[in-house]
Amino acid sequence: MLTNFTYVRPNSLEEAFKHLSSEKSRVHAGGTDLLGCLRDQVFEASRVVSLNNIKSLRGIKKSTHGRMRLGALTTLREVAGDSEVKKHYTALALAAAEVASPQLRNQGTLGGNLCQKPRCWYYRGAFHCLRKGGEECFAVAGENAFHCIFGGESCYIVHPSDTAPALGALGAQIHIRGPKGKRSVALEDFHVPPSDDYTKETRLGQGEIVTEIELPPPVEGLRSSYRKVRARQSWDFALVGVALALILKGDKVQKARVFLSGVAPVPWRSREVEEVVTGKKLDEGIVSKAAEAAVQKAKPLGQNAYKIPLLRGIIEEQLLAIARA
């Protein structure tokens, strides 16, 4: 059941910051995650602050030195369908197209996709788990088929976003504004691992808003992809996923950035895969070695060891697809 809250729709960021000063204020973008959280009482809000009248937060545009800026309120449908994103930042277009269903992509925004709450059924359900201020993570001894195999420490969620790993692979910067001014963080530093703080998902402080996501200029030889495996063909979150951004020179990999989804509490950078493929030709031997390296440090729980061969398989598949493109 939804409890009562005040709903405001400011016309500027400055006005929004005033409304967001109290701890019980929440940002509303598309609302596809926020309203579910309020209904299920994952957290409370006394005031919901819609960003929808702030026009500067919308749209995709080229910025200085060939960079690309995507406003936080840009919908996932717009990201997935933009011709420049598809051409130069393929992994992001593919990832946005993999989120949920057409209806949710019409409504859901890129900023909301990065800031959404985890989908752990204990966290979302009527359980006073560690992340909600309780004493334990119920997934450790409970139903953990969809939980993490990397980076679990005290809390074993997986990060639910499809676009975050793609943005990580592409080297995105997240631009943030708040009552104290502007700042930017790399995508890979934006999310908080449980080892740092198991009660937070992002580095946003009180009243701060993601305003834009910025991508570096397209580089010659860049090939990127996003592949997600889900339990069913219809809308679903990733069981495992991989975002690759490789810069090829001739038939060799000059630079690689690899992020995994569905396997860790944050978009998980696989430096192991990056190290194996950098400087190498992507032949079957290297690809198989890279996929093996990716899973070496996995620590499955009781019911999710199936993620290991699945992950190995899609890493091989995607590296070979890039090599043969």
Ligand X SMILES: Cc1cc2nc3c(=O)[nH]c(=O)nc-3n(C[C@H](O)[C@H](O)[C@H](O)COP(=O)(O)OP(=O)(O)OC[C@H]3O[C@@H](n4cnc5c(N)ncnc54)[C@H](O)[C@@H]3O)c2cc1C
* Coil, helix or strand at residue 153: strand
Residue of the chain from 150, 237, 259, 268 that contacts ligand X (CB under 6 A): 237
Tell me whether residue 113 or residue 270 sits nearer to ligand X (CB atom).
113
User: In the complex, what is the shortest distance from the CB of residue 28 to ligand X, in angstroms, rounded to a whole number?
Assistant: 5
The DSSP result for 234-260, as a single string, is SS---SEEEEEEEEEETTEEEEEEEEE
**Does position 76 bind ligand X by CB under 6 A?**
yes
Element (H, E) at 319: helix 307-324
**Does position 104 bind ligand X by CB under 6 A?**
yes
Residue of the chain from 60, 99, 242, 282 that contacts ligand X (CB under 6 A): 99
**Does position 108 bind ligand X by CB under 6 A?**
yes
User: In the complex, what is the shortest distance from the CB of residue 49 to ligand X, in angstroms, rounded to a whole number?
Assistant: 8
Q: Binding to ligand X (CB under 6 A): which residues in 24-63?
A: 26-34, 36
User: In the complex, what is the shortest distance from the CB of residue 35 to ligand X, in angstroms, rounded to a whole number?
Assistant: 7
Distances (CA, A) of 160 to 27, 76, 95: 19, 15, 12
Nearest-angstrom CA–CA distance, 170 and 180: 28
User: In the complex, what is the shortest distance from the CB of residue 233 to ligand X, in angstroms, rounded to a whole number?
Assistant: 12
**Does position 115 bind ligand X by CB under 6 A?**
yes
Tell me whether residue 144 or residue 161 sits nearer to ligand X (CB atom).
161
User: In the complex, what is the shortest distance from the CB of residue 95 to ligand X, in angstroms, rounded to a whole number?
Assistant: 8
Which among 81-89, 99-107, 134-142, 299-307 is the span making contact with ligand X, rule CB under 6 A? 99-107
Tell me whether residue 9 or residue 281 sits nearer to ligand X (CB atom).
9
For the beta sheet containing 252-261, the strands, ordered from the edge strand earlier in sequence to the opposite edge, are: 222-229, 240-249, 252-261, 268-269
Nearest-angstrom CA–CA distance, 144 and 123: 12
Q: Binding to ligand X (CB under 6 A): which residues in 163-222?
A: 204, 209-210
For 203, residues 6+ apart whose C-beta sits below 8 A from its C-beta are 185, 189, 190, 191, 192
Query: Long-range contacts: 125-129, Cβ < 8 Å, 24+?
Result: 125/40, 129/155
For 249, residues 6+ apart whose C-beta sits below 8 A from its C-beta are 221
Tell me whether residue 158 or residue 253 sits nearer to ligand X (CB atom).
158
User: In the complex, what is the shortest distance from the CB of residue 74 to ligand X, in angstroms, rounded to a whole number?
Assistant: 10
**Does position 263 bind ligand X by CB under 6 A?**
no
Quick one: the chain helix, strand, coil %, rounded to 5? 35, 25, 45
**Does position 265 bind ligand X by CB under 6 A?**
no
User: Which residues are 184's β-sheet partners?
Assistant: 175
Nearest-angstrom CA–CA distance, 14 and 298: 45
**Does position 17 bind ligand X by CB under 6 A?**
no
Nearest-angstrom CA–CA distance, 47 and 26: 6
Tell me whether residue 17 or residue 122 sits nearer to ligand X (CB atom).
17
**Does position 111 bind ligand X by CB under 6 A?**
yes
Per CB under 6 A, residues contacting ligand X are 26-34, 36, 72, 76, 99-100, 104, 107-109, 111-113, 115-117, 160-162, 204, 209-210, 235, 237
